[in-house]
Structure 1
Amino acid sequence: MLTLNNREKIADTFGQSCLSYDKNARLQRYSGNLLCQFLNQLPSLQSPTQKSLLDLGCGTGYFTQKLAAKNFKDITALDLSSQMIAFAKQRDYAGDVPTWVRGDAHALPLASNTKDIIFSNLVLQWTQPLSVALSEAYRVLKPGGYLVFSTLIDGTLDELKQAWARVDNDKHVIDYLTHNQVEHAWQSSGFTEVFSHCERVELPYPNVNHLARELKHLGASLVKDKRHKGLTGKDKWQKMSHYYREIDRAQATTPLSNGHIQASYMLYTACLMKKEN
């Protein structure tokens, strides 16, 4: 379980990366655009000017800006990182400026039954237990409202996890929930499924150092249960890089040339509905 203190440390890590976040957020762009496509498919959103929306975990405001251009009635942009909110506020927004709220997904500072849509892009993997955050989203949604979200599940960065496992028995990669655990969490929170999708996304990198650097810039390098803190020795890093290339050659569905490697992300996206009264 991630305590509030743990979640605030993660938020601080993301906040410190706000200046470099957008140029490294390839996966976030891909998943967020999928969620926007989900919104376009909802028949009840043909008139967004009548709908209120919460951007849960707004980050740098990249998708907040896109959502604002859709002319929702009002948008609340919430993040646990005050640095991210400060950065997001600097963007230009079409229509009304979003309402900015610093808050925790485990205890949303919003009234019940007040939002038509909750949009959450690659945030909920940082909420443990996930069921608490989902129950809060359910509370805040109006009956008949929708939660559209993406998260990462087990199998993400599996090449990196396997490579480190050949070097030592420490924990170097974050553990993610399984597909079944995520579905159980939203079912137990009361949601019904409109549609969901799971896919393996492979992103190319020049080398393992580049992968590690991108993860750091995205603020995603914090491993809570790591036993040996601090920098990893050069010898261990070289061994891990060697094993990574071996594993990548054996597992990649589309092998790359020029010595590049790939990293796998298991992306789960869903559109859920709060039941009508």
Structure 2
Amino acid sequence: MYPGLSKGYDTLFDLMPDIKDATVLDLACGDGAFSRKCLTKGVASVDGYDISSMMIDKAIKDANNEHRLVFKVADIEKLDLPVNRYNVVHSQFGLHYVSDLPSMMNRIAKSLKPGGIFVATSYINSCIDSGLILEKFLEWGPDIGTKVTPYAVMIRARKSNN
């Protein structure tokens, strides 16, 4: 769909530890492409949320009744996230639409299990003051012949084990 997206996913997965048997939250999941890619890594489950019913309809269709994938329409900013549920929280180009980013980041941090990982691709470059420890920061942009690279940042942050 987008030039260089496959390479971007490879880079994003390089930021993560082994996610076999992990529980994953995919915020602003769009058509579920990242969620489906997680299946190839052996995850236990992925909960995907997006505000667009059209994107969620496509995600559900493309999931082919895979029981490890659950997609729902929701405004991620209003989503009540469970505490200590996820090993990995992911957001791809969704956080820059959030009006109260500090609150969103705090809810993401609380939803992670101790030692859990948050990975994102966005136009923002901060974990805000959420208790997440920034471990890695990459500037990224697909090689599509434009002069506007990198056009995004990828971050990995970890919840402390305390």
Q: TM-score when scaled to structure 2?
A: 0.85
Distance 1:143 1:200 in 2: 31
Task: Answer whether contact 1:68 1:95 (CA < 8 A) is retained.
Answer: no
Task: Answer whether contact 2:59 2:71 (CA < 8 A) is retained.
Answer: no
Q: How does 1:25-64 map to 2 (within 5 A)?
A: 25-26=2-3, 28-39=5-16, 42=17, 45=18, 48-49=20-21, 51-64=22-35
Q: How does 1:1-277 map to 2 (within 5 A)?
A: 22=1, 25-26=2-3, 28-39=5-16, 42=17, 45=18, 48-49=20-21, 51-92=22-63, 96-153=67-124, 182-183=125-126, 186-199=127-140, 203-204=144-145, 262-265=146-149, 266-277=151-162
For the residue of structure 2 that corresponds to 1:90, the secondary structure is helix
Question: Of the two, which has the highest radius of gyration?
Answer: 1
Task: Answer whether contact 2:8 2:142 (CA < 8 A) is retained.
Answer: no
Q: Would the alpha carbon gap of residues 198 and 62 (structure 1) be closer, same or farther in structure 2, given more than 3 Å must change?
A: same
Which structure features the higher share of helix residues? 1
Which structure features the higher share of strand residues? 2
Summarize deviations over 1:245-275 as a string: whole Å, max 9, x none: xxxxxxxxxxxxxxxxx25143211110111
Distance 1:33 1:123 in 2: 19
Q: Would the alpha carbon gap of residues 124 and 189 (structure 1) be closer, same or farther in structure 2, given more than 3 Å must change?
A: same
Q: TM-score when scaled to structure 1?
A: 0.52
Distance 1:124 1:69 in 2: 25
Number of residues paired by the alignment?
161
Q: Would the alpha carbon gap of residues 29 and 132 (structure 1) be closer, same or farther in structure 2, given more than 3 Å must change?
A: farther
Percent of residue pairs bearing the same amino acid type: 21
Unaligned runs of 5+ in 2: none
Distance 1:117 1:52 in 2: 7
Code of the residue aligned with 1:73 in structure 2: it is A
Summarize deviations over 1:122-180 as a string: whole Å, max 9, x none: 22122233223212211211121110111125xxxxxxxxxxxxxxxxxxxxxxxxxxx
Q: CA RMSD in A?
A: 2.3
Q: Would the alpha carbon gap of residues 82 and 94 (structure 1) be closer, same or farther in structure 2, given more than 3 Å must change?
A: closer
Task: Answer whether contact 1:60 1:88 (CA < 8 A) is retained.
Answer: yes
Q: Would the alpha carbon gap of residues 123 and 32 (structure 1) be closer, same or farther in structure 2, given more than 3 Å must change?
A: farther
Unaligned runs of 5+ in 1: 1-21, 154-181, 205-261
For the residue of structure 2 that corresponds to 1:70, the secondary structure is coil
Summarize deviations over 1:218-244 as a string: whole Å, max 9, x none: xxxxxxxxxxxxxxxxxxxxxxxxxxx
